[in-house]
Chain A
Amino acid sequence: MAHPHTPLELPEEVRAALARQPRLEPRPLLVAAVRARVAPVAARRSRRLHRAMFRLVDALLDGELPEGARMALEGHAAHCAECACVLERARAGREVLRGVGRLSVSREQALRVRLAAGPGEGRKPSRLPGLVAATASVALLLGLGARWLAAPVPETPASPAPLIAAVDEAPQSPPAGLEPPAERELAAAPAAKPAARAVPVARARRSAGRRSAPETTRPDAAPPSLDSARGSAVLVVATQPPPATNASATPAHAPAGPTATIGRIDAGPITM
């Protein structure tokens, strides 16, 4: 039985022979009976395909359906406007999704660089540069501060009396046995000039006063303890060579070496 929608192709001689035959009149009752049996089947099949089109349109476009089902659905869509619309919308949506762009290559190259950096390093920046910079800054500040404290300053004629008085009130020497080695070395060395000794004391006192130690700048301040003097002496020794080795420059009234050293750092504990 030929498909109802495909025209019957017959050779020319067969058509001529059929034309010569007397035409049979169809029996109306028979035709009606056949139509009554065939039409519901065709309608059911059409409805089934119609429902299946909504369900299988994705599989149809993906090529996942067998050949018979694919032909049946496409044949149905050729005659059903609604199914043709569904198929067309599905094709359009598929084309839209397939046509979306991809990320640019620069992103991929950036990713490659980040992957080359190793796991976990892409997000956290290294702390090493910051630590190096902070350490260098601290070292520079310490060096500059120590140089500023120990730098020889031109002689000033008159120093404030309270400051010199504070120097004079400094302990002459620490108790025996508690004297640090640096102080022992400085004690053996000749003392520096008095004027050159007094000005650094004032400078140290001023700097100590700026460092919020007002009681240390008072003229009647108590003499520094051995601990504070020792700690400051270590700082001076570490940043400055022993003060003077020229014995001829030492005046007669200059105090002994340890007093000069402690007087220089008499401004109180220099905290770091």
Chain B
Amino acid sequence: MDLGLAAQARPLRMSPLMETRSLADAAAMGDADAFERLVREHHARVLNVAYRMLNDEDDAADVCQDVFVKAFRALPRLRDRSQFSSWVLKITANCARDYLRRRRRRAETPLEDEVVPTVDERHSDSAATQDSDRIVQRLLMGLPEKHRIVIVLRDIEDMSYEEIAQTLACTVSSVKNRLHRARRVFRDRLTPYLGEGGL
């Protein structure tokens, strides 16, 4: 009898997917604590994806906030709430894309897409700062958006092809193609830094 009671008293451990689903269900019913837990679990990933897409911490924080506000409002309409993570990252990708478009329209910053750093920049960068993170971010910003998001989700956030396809609403083959092209361009541009031993 004691063993049975002890077993009953022991809390059941749910898998992360089930836990995310139960939290999302509770948050969809209006449970603010459940949504706060979801935010705590996901905000680091959302923030980093937004930062890698936007190359600005403040903009990334703004996008991150918008993402969770939108997620909170749209959560009751989410059918499969076990896919909350990829859904939030999908919102992140869309928000970052919109933010980039607005920024481009306002022309606050120069257009960074499709801009390849020149040789002089490469040499001065590696000789002066040796900041690998900054170099990587600059190389990432030189990729097109749809390639950048794929390489960020796969190589930085370590998501599988299927998760990326679900997040970006495309096929796995498309993910592979984009990833292959993105990595090829990234490797080509990274090679001078590797040759100098800067990274």
List residues of A whose CB falls within 8 A of some B CB.
Answer: 55, 58-59, 62, 64, 89-90, 92-94, 96-103, 107-108, 110-112, 114-115, 119-120, 122-123
Contact = CB atoms under 8 A, between A and B. Distances in A.
Contact of B132 (A55, A100, A115): A100
A interface majority secondary structure = helix
B158 to A, nearest CB: 8
A96 B194 CA distance: 10
A217 to B, nearest CB: 55
Interface string B145-159: 000000100111010
A52 to B, nearest CB: 12
A97 B180 CA distance: 14
Given A97-B155, A111-B61, A89 B48 contact: no
Interface in B117-161: 132-133, 136-137, 151, 154-156, 158, 161
A119 B194 contact: no
Given A92-B199, A100-B136, A103-B47, 17 more contacts: A58-B176, A58-B180, A58-B183, A89-B194, A93-B187, A96-B194, A97-B136, A97-B151, A97-B156, A101-B133, A102-B48, A103-B48, A103-B51, A103-B60, A112-B40, A115-B68, A122-B65
A271 B73 CA distance: 50
Among A89, A97, A119, which residue has the most Cβ atoms of chain B within 10 A?
A97
The interface residues of chain B, by DSSP majority, are classed as helix
Interface of B: 39-40, 43-44, 47-48, 51, 57, 60-62, 64-65, 68-69, 72-73, 132-133, 136-137, 151, 154-156, 158, 161, 176, 179-180, 183, 186-187, 190-191, 194, 199
